[in-house]
């Protein structure tokens, strides 16, 4: 095979195997705290993305939102894997973000492969929503939904969105998950009671 033909076929070969080796998503709304590539990278490392080799470049973006209202979430899966998403909120520090859910896996010739992950139903703080956008086929359009925010005042909250990937091998930094975060400034709606369960202890 000549060199020019090999170069033309290489991208197709990579795309052909990519769905079985990686999965990625891009956080479109609210704005990510990190500069993301077209694939949404860097996103492996918990709790908020980056990798052990690349911490990522902060955007310094802070989205100002109203407590007790709906926040629009929009993500684009850039490389397919079956799975679902979870959304959580840290009020005081990122240390409050919950650990990645427990995963059931199976053995394979290539090592452990993910089967399923625990979904909180109903979700409990600091998780806002879980089991979102369950899918078993490739989706061309972004996933979108509105999430209810607690009615609180928070100058620098962290909204975390993670993707669980089924039928996936362990990745060095993120296990069976990919991670994105957005920084929020939440101002409570004075017409509504403050959600005391989310206040500083």
Helix (H, G, I), strand (E, B) or coil at 90: strand
Helix (H, G, I), strand (E, B) or coil at 167: coil
Residues 72-128: tens digit of each pLDDT: 999 999 999 899 999 999 999 999 999 999 999 998 888 899 999 999 999 999 999
pLDDT at 23 (0 to 100): 63
Partners of 25 in the β-ladder: 77
Strand extents, DSSP E, the chain: 24-29, 62-66, 70-79, 83-90, 103-106, 113-117, 127-135, 143-148, 154-165, 177-187
What are the boundaries of each domain within the chain?
A: 23-193
In whole angstroms, what is the distance from residue 121 CA to residue 37 CA?
33
Under a CB-based contact definition with an 8 Å cutoff, are residues 160 and 48 in contact?
A: yes
CATH number of 23-193: 2.70.50
Q: Centre a 10 Å sphere on the Cβ of residue 76 and count the other Cβ atoms it contains.
A: 18
Residues 6 or more apart in contact with residue 15 via CB below 8 angstroms: none
| Full-model pTM | 0.86
Residues 175-194: tens digit of each pLDDT: 999 999 999 999 999 999 99
């Amino acid at each position: 095979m000549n060199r020019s033909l090999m170069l033309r076929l290489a991208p197709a070969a990579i795309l052909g195997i990519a769905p079985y080796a990686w999965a990625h998503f891009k956080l479109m709304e609210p704005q990510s705290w990190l500069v993301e590539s077209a694939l949404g990278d860097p996103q492996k490392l918990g709790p908020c993305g980056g990798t052990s080799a690349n911490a990522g470049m902060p955007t310094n973006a802070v989205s100002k939102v109203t407590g007790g209202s709906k926040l629009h979430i929009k993500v684009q899966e850039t490389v397919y894997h079956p799975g679902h998403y979870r959304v959580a909120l840290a009020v005081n520090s990122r240390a409050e973000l919950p650990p990645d859910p427990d995963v059931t896996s199976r053995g394979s010739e290539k090592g452990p492969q993910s089967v399923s992950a625990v979904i909180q139903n109903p979700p409990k703080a600091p998780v806002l929503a879980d089991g979102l956008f369950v899918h078993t086929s490739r989706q061309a359009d972004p996933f979108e939904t509105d999430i209810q925010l607690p009615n609180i005042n928070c100058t620098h909250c962290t909204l975390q969105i993670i993707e669980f990937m089924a039928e996936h091998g362990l990745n060095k930094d993120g296990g069976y998950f990919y991670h994105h975060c957005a920084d929020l400034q939440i101002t409570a709606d004075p017409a509504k009671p403050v959600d005391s369960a989310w206040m500083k202890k």
